[in-house]
Chains A and B, each alone.
Chain A
Amino acid sequence: MTAAADLASSYELVVIGGGPAGLAAASLAARAGVSTALFDENPGVGGQIYRAITSTPVKDRAVLGEDYWDGAALADEAKASGALIVNGATVWSLDRQRLVGVSIGGKARVIEAGRVIIATGSQERPFPIPGWTLPGVMTVGAAQTVLKAQGLVVCERTVLAGSGPLLWLLAAQTLRAGGKIDAILDTTPRRNWLQAAVHLPDFALSPYFAKGLALLREVRARVPVHRVDRIEAVGADRVREVVFSSAGGTRRLPVDLLLLHQGVVPNVNLANAAGVTHVWNDRQLCFVPVLDADFGSSVPGIAVAGDGAGIAGGTAAAERGRIAAIAAVRALKPDAVVPDTQAIRQRLQREEMGRAFLDWLNRPADGFRMPEGETIACRCEEVTAQQVRETARMGCEGPNQMKAFLRCGMGPCQGRLCGLTVTELIAEERKATPDEVGYYRLRPPVKPITLAELASLPISEAERKAVER
């Protein structure tokens, strides 16, 4: 295992995140002769899609599916490439000078990077319904993570709620693993079909079309699916019941686990803190970094690849990682031999083709993104939707001011679970666009770092620069 002390003081390329984008980028660069370090905070490589690909206890390949096992080749390739791959390594800071603050096993270092590729991927979109902070309410992604990494499968009374491909994938994986799902509450608004339908021909040509239909069929044959437009998790110390309504009335189901999911959004914290410009993407309802054709950001030398650049899926993430790596290699070593980007761009285009359909179809309804009343918007500081709305009506113009009034976004998650909600709530109240309202301005450290870790920093010139700013 690589310790903080083993790291060099600089690398030509630092890749942050070891999902498909990061693994593909690091492999390509290292093989072109660029000194490359990849940091990932998880115990193993793979990112979200290929989580625990080198260690999963789920050996029956049918359970997780062949798309999962595709990740093994990427992991092998990265290992053989000569890139330094460090797991359990949390990057807590990145600045415009490309100084990378990383913490490994309780010890911190600040490393200089010639170029940086941020490949920190996506996270699940906040799903603020009444009761979503109760123990027993988790995300679909969380259930998938423990299935892949620890071989834990949901049992007893489990209900899934929400929309998007990942929900159906986890449902199928759970059933194949012998788990049980009592019901799926489908929150996809029917009218989404109107906007999605025009993109159906493209989607029909994409590899996701047949796979998606097969998944739906597999799950629907075994789990009752209800269309709903309101969901509430109910219980005092933990969730006991899920209450849901649709045009047909209100129903309740007893539950031990309620798994929520309404799509994934870019994980913007590190790029935002490094000063990368982001814009609102109205189709995907999230902020995305502004990038050039090589995934270079507004900050020179820093690229953002993978789903962090806007959601396009795992295969696209790897292709984006390769394109960003080729640009990095060309900048660092103009004479190095790199693959032809044209072929990669064509593959990427094919991957991205069906995306518009999926995005429009699965666009979460307003009520599930912009809650009302006592529903918690900021989980850390327990700030309600009503508080945010009232404060916006009183004249608070944006999320950064909102922090000062309500402390929302100031807890340990640093706005990851409330940022989009707060932006959209303010925008709705002030009749402004999310772009006008903006997002939290983030500053390093983007992950909490202890005083002991800071104290462990070896002090050199570069490192002093990083801390005094």
Chain B
Amino acid sequence: MFKRLAEKGPAIAITVDGKTVNAHAGDTVAAALLAAGIDHCRTTPVTGAPRAPYCLMGVCFDCLVTVDGVGSRQGCLIPVREGMKVETQLGRREAGR
């Protein structure tokens, strides 16, 4: 869906659902997921439909993920950090964790 232009920040490794994903300094969690071709980051509480980042500016909340154990964080506003553990969210079960 997206490709990276040649110029990019230093590499940063994060894990997404336990798998290593290579991100770069300056990425937000949501941007790193998109660059890695990850298709969705959560399912909805009501029907369990898959969702992926939609606005990337903090308004839609479709980018909600669990970051280092804290649930329902807006992936598009959080910069990646080396070793960060990102987990996709399944519906209501994890909301407010």
Contacts and interface: CB of A to CB of B under 8 A. Distances in A.
Given A141-B55, A149-B26, A152-B31, A57 B5 contact: yes
A452 B40 CA distance: 27
Contacts of B5: 57-58, 151-153, 177-178
A257 B37 CA distance: 12
Interface stretch (A25-33, A304-312, A349-357, A377-385): A377-385
A124 B55 CA distance: 8
B49 A41 contact: no
A158 B1 CA distance: 8
Contacts of B2: 146, 152-155
B54 A139 contact: yes
B1 A57 contact: no
Given A138-B54, A149-B26, A149-B28, A238 B39 contact: yes
B7 A141 contact: no
B87 interface: no
A interface, size bucket: 35 or more
Nearest to B49: A133
B34 A152 contact: yes
B85 interface: no
Contacts of B47: 382
Contacts of A145: 56-57, 76
Interface of A: 41-43, 48, 52, 55, 57-59, 88, 90, 106, 123-124, 133-139, 141-142, 145-146, 149-156, 158, 177-179, 237-238, 256-257, 267, 379-382, 411-413, 416-417, 448, 450, 452
Given A57-B7, A256-B1, A141 B70 contact: no
Interface string B51-85: 11111111111101000001010001101000000
27 contacts: A55-B26, A124-B55, A124-B57, A134-B50, A135-B39, A135-B50, A136-B1, A142-B53, A146-B2, A149-B28, A150-B27, A150-B31, A151-B8, A152-B35, A155-B2, A238-B50, A257-B1, A267-B59, A382-B44, A382-B47, A412-B72, A413-B59, A413-B61, A416-B59, A416-B60, A417-B55, A417-B59
Determine chain B's interface SS by DSSP, over half rule: loop
Nearest to A413: B61
B14 to A, nearest CB: 14
Interface of B: 1-5, 7-9, 24, 26-28, 31, 34-35, 39-40, 44, 46-47, 49-62, 64, 70, 72, 76-77, 79
A149 B31 contact: yes
Contacts of B56: 138-139, 141-142, 145-146
Nearest to B52: A135
Most-contacted residue by chain A among B1, B4, B72, B77 (CB, 10 A): B1
